[in-house]
């Protein structure tokens, strides 16, 4: 049994990670919960029989009974806290992003290698049954040579998430916005399926300058939007392949597919809006090699109820046990960070930005 700890017991921990950890059953045991707000750590520890509540990073890093830590601290703290956890001898699964800059991400990867510890990073899209099925379909040639893709995640943002217990204003602040919150899932998906991107060009802006919070406990409060609430980016891949991403906090809803991967002989299409990573099947369009072959859409793919934030810890535990090869690699997360930072630069200066990073992926095999 893998012994786990969680660093950071905020909204995402209680809403998603803790139910996911409970779903692991007897493959993992949560032995410590750490948060600087002691009451949150105590409340979190009460969910896991026998687990300890800790209130400092030093108390966590002094433990010798932990195999891996899930780092759910705020994004600006990821570099500092992940470094400390790796130095203490723990394997680490970090929430996204890996770091703030590509240089910081490279330092983290080098440090993990130097201490011989596993470093994985969310989002866990490529560990989900649905995306693994699409990846297998591409590699088997089910839709022919893949040429391009479209991906879209769009909401009005956390100001309207009634169950959200954190501060929604931070999502509209400088350096955040829909690219960091939502686009990261789509960038991870497309680079996971296509391999590393070579170039990005993006446009974006603030469509709705002020938001009124509808969360009951904060209802009526106003948020001034600082980060672009709509971002459109184009990714260029090797072998003349392309992808378009729309990431928005300015769209009440949409009915179009979240993801469509287009090949020379077919299309893999995923609906489901925000739950596109759940393995509830894929709409597949295929036609055979002749000009008059059968055509049409058919539902196919895996039928799994596993959620994204259950897939991550499950994959983390399997990798620690040597039962799976990592797909949530830090190198992939570094490339995703590179894409996001390049997109921000492209919005500012209007240029097409060449990417600095590459990573090994099944798409290159």
Q: Which two tokens stand for residue 269?
A: 């299409």
Query: How many residues are there in the chain?
Result: 365
Among residues 227, 246, 274, 318, the alpha carbon closest in space to that of 4 is found at 318
- Token code pair at residue 185: 């899932």
Q: 350: which residues sit within 8 A by CB, 6+ positions away?
A: none
DSSP annotation of 37 reads S
Q: Which of 22, 96, 117, 222 is catalytic?
A: 96
- Beta-carbon count within 10 A of 114 CB: 10
Q: Is the CB of residue 71 less than 8 Å from the CB of residue 82?
A: yes
DSSP annotation of 26 reads G
* Residues 342, 177 contacting (CB under 8 angstroms): no
**Pairing assessment for the beta strands 146-154 and 297-303 based on DSSP bridges:** unpaired
For residue 218, the surrounding DSSP H or E stretch is none
Is 22 a known active-site residue? no
User: Of the candidates 196, 155, 236, which has an alpha carbon nearest to the alpha carbon of residue 338?
Assistant: 196
CA distance 360 to 285: 29
Phi, psi of 210 (to 5 degrees): -135, 140
Three-state DSSP class for 111?
Answer: helix
Q: How many CB atoms lie within 10 A of CB 56?
A: 13
What SS3 state is found at 192?
A: helix
Residues with catalytic function: 96
């Amino acid at each position: 049994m893998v012994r786990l700890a969680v660093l950071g017991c905020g909204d995402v921990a209680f809403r998603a990670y803790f139910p996911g950890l409970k779903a692991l059953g007897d493959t993992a045991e949560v032995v410590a919960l750490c948060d600087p707000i002691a009451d949150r750590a105590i409340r979190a520890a009460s969910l896991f029989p026998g687990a300890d509540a800790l209130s400092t990073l030093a108390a966590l890093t002094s433990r010798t009974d932990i195999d891996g830590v899930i780092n759910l601290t705020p994004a600006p703290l990821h570099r500092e806290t992940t470094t400390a956890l790796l130095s203490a001898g723990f394997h680490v699964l970090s929430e996204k992003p890996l770091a703030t800059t590509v240089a910081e991400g490279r330092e983290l990867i080098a440090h993990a290698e130097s201490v011989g510890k596993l470093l994985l990073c969310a989002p866990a899209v490529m560990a989900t049954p649905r995306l693994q099925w699409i990846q297998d379909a591409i590699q088997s040639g089910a839709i022919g040579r893949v040429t391009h893709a479209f991906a879209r995640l769009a909401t009005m943002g956390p100001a309207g998430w009634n169950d959200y217990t954190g501060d929604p204003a931070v999502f509209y602040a400088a350096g955040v916005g829909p690219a960091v919150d939502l686009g990261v899932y789509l960038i991870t998906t497309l680079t996971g399926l296509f391999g590393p991107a070579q170039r990005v060009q993006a446009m974006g802006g603030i469509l709705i300058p002020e938001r009124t919070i509808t969360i009951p406990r904060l209802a009526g409060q106003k948020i001034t939007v600082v980060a672009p609430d709509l971002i459109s980016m184009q990714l260029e891949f090797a072998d003349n392949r392309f992808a378009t991403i729309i990431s928005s906090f300015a769209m009440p809803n949409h009915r179009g597919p979240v993801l469509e991967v287009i090949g020379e002989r077919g299309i893999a299409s995923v609906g489901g809006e925000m739950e596109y990573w759940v393995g509830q099947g894929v709409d597949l369009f295929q036609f055979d090699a002749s000009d008059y072959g059968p055509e049409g859409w058919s539902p196919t793919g895996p039928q799994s109820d596993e959620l994204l934030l259950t897939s991550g810890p499950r994959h983390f535990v399997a990798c620690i046990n040597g039962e799976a090869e990592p797909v949530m690699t830090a190198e992939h997360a570094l490339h995703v960070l590179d894409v996001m930072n390049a997109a921000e630069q492209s919005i500012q200066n209007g240029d097409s930005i060449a990417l600095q990073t590459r990573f090994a992926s099944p798409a290159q095999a």
